[in-house]
Chain A
């Protein structure tokens, strides 16, 4: 992994617990709630550590309630950790909240950062004042962003009248106007159609590359991860279940492979190889599945080629989404983690 001095975010033994009160309603209830001690504690983030290098593009994934948003909210200074240490570009976010805010850009997928009733351009102008971006820098930056994201026709429209995709483009611009070193994105593609998703992904890729902005993204959409992230951190019940490169996740973790074979019309034989499961079979199409610990891809393919007359063959790469689903499905985090640590160097 990256060397330590290159890191822009450092997180050590970070935890955040939530106390959930058994709330009562009404005036008397709210007074009682002030004094009542009936709480249950939920460990949203449970003793996690990681560091992120400058220029990284990190996918932060997990099921609902795994602690993704909670971590992002601590990194951005919104939430105060229960315990542990965070340093983001030299600042402790919840203590130096204002300084930290200048270094980061934040996009929450479901909520806009813009002023609902104002034209887009005026929101940008307010943000320029708030972040005290020098006029020249702002102009250059704004023109570049506005051109890339084709904001021209949107600038005079009140935010409440924008479509979700249009609003996301404006929100991305808003988050980058002060040229932050780190960009946090919480579900940036949620609710977008395929074209808009693709658009956002291309843009983020460009920002990461050309501006060298470090990007941390939480998402439910595994295609986001696949398309964008060089590194992935998987969270399960507040703990890190995997932390490494996205490629490595595929190679090391998922030993399952699927092969799809189309035979010549006149070949109606079956395929029977030890340790290889025939998942589905039609007259001349076969779907196979096997674990690479038992037999290598090479062996399987060469045996098929010897025995049958193959017209077409496709080896399916596992999708990151399926892998992650597997991690959750195959038992609980704790057992997974030990298994993972064995496969990882």
Chain B
């Protein structure tokens, strides 16, 4: 697989260049995204100004929680955004073409679209992280510096895995637009706030079944040195993000592999 790395890079560069043929579209997307996230941030700020904290989370801590979500979302958007449009590859029959090339089909799909508009996520995400860490007086110990990229990778794998699983469903259903909207886009709304504001069942769901809480809620406890004894199941969950990421992605990849074997292609 690694001997093919230069080829994937070439494909990535190609897809970026192809996209840059449509510069105006790109610019508008970027601006729209920035406004979207600023709006989201605005809502959280208004709540905080009014109530001083959300379920015991101060302004700085909320900013960090939000930053972790948006920054990891930036990476997963950069890498996995093509999966959101995977339906088109199936409907147009273009997936056939990827199967008659001696490269991994999934990596070809991922390389076919590198979403540069995730610059918006990185801008907003890193600003929120920096502001949140500073304001809440986060102390960057050695352990935290080491764990940060690992937790980030885990969070990206969770989000990538979810996108992959939703894309894989297309092999059976041919269409998955509505699933993309519900599961990939809208579900993020759940973790804009600390999940401790929800009842037990929602928290359990977001931890065990649809483990979005590992993207920002649990690792934030570690980074912000919050009291982890209040966590739902076990204090160790604050370190659980990498493992959760691996499990989600492995399951999604298994579903994807099964999907390829079930692939029906389209008629002419």
B120 within 8 A of A: no
Which chain A residues lie closer than 8 Å to B101 at the CB level?
101, 130-131
Which chain A residues lie closer than 8 Å to B268 at the CB level?
64, 69, 110, 186-187
Contact A79 B179 (CB under 8 A): no
A33 within 8 A of B: yes
Which chain B residues lie closer than 8 Å to A110 at the CB level?
268
Pick from A33, A106, A115: contact of B100, CB under 8 Å: A106
Chain B, residues 238-256, CB within 8 Å of chain A (1/0): the string is 0000000000000000000
Which chain B residues lie closer than 8 Å to A111 at the CB level?
92-94, 96-97
Chain A, residues 81-121, CB within 8 Å of chain B (1/0): the string is 00000000000001001110110101010110101111000
A243 within 8 A of B: no
- Nearest-neighbour CB distance to chain B for A176, whole angstroms, equals 14
A122 within 8 A of B: yes
B62 within 8 A of A: no
Closest to B7 in A: A129
CA distance A283 to B18 in the complex (A): 68
B109 within 8 A of A: no
Which chain B residues lie closer than 8 Å to A30 at the CB level?
169, 173, 175-176, 178-179
Main secondary structure of the interface of A (DSSP, over half): mixed
Within 8 A of B (CB), among A281-322: none
> With contacts A78-B100, A98-B103 known, is A69 near B267, CB below 8 A?
yes
Closest to A105 in B: B100
Q: How large is the interface on B (under 10, 10 to 19, 20 to 34, 35 or more residues)?
A: 35 or more
- Nearest-neighbour CB distance to chain A for B254, whole angstroms, equals 16
Contact B179 A73 (CB under 8 A): no
B10 within 8 A of A: yes
Which chain A residues lie closer than 8 Å to B181 at the CB level?
27
Number of residues from A at the complex interface, CB < 8 A: 42
Closest to A187 in B: B268
Contact A79 B265 (CB under 8 A): yes
> With contacts A30-B178, A129-B7 known, is A101 near B96, CB below 8 A?
no
CA distance A187 to B102 in the complex (A): 23
A238 within 8 A of B: no
A50 within 8 A of B: no
A77 within 8 A of B: yes
A276 within 8 A of B: no
Closest to A106 in B: B100
Which chain A residues lie closer than 8 Å to B263 at the CB level?
78-80
Contact A34 B18 (CB under 8 A): no
> With contacts A73-B265, A131-B102 known, is A115 near B18, CB below 8 A?
yes
Contact A27 B179 (CB under 8 A): yes
Pick from B11, B18, B264, B267: contact of A65, CB under 8 Å: B267
**Could you pull out 26 A-B pairs where Cβ atoms are within 8 angstroms?**
A26-B178, A27-B182, A30-B169, A33-B172, A33-B173, A34-B172, A34-B173, A69-B268, A77-B99, A78-B96, A79-B263, A80-B262, A94-B261, A101-B99, A101-B102, A108-B96, A111-B94, A111-B97, A113-B97, A117-B17, A117-B21, A118-B17, A126-B11, A129-B6, A130-B101, A132-B102
11 additional contacts (CB under 8 A) given A27-B179, A111-B96, A126-B10: A26-B178, A27-B178, A30-B173, A101-B100, A106-B100, A113-B97, A115-B18, A117-B17, A118-B17, A118-B18, A132-B7
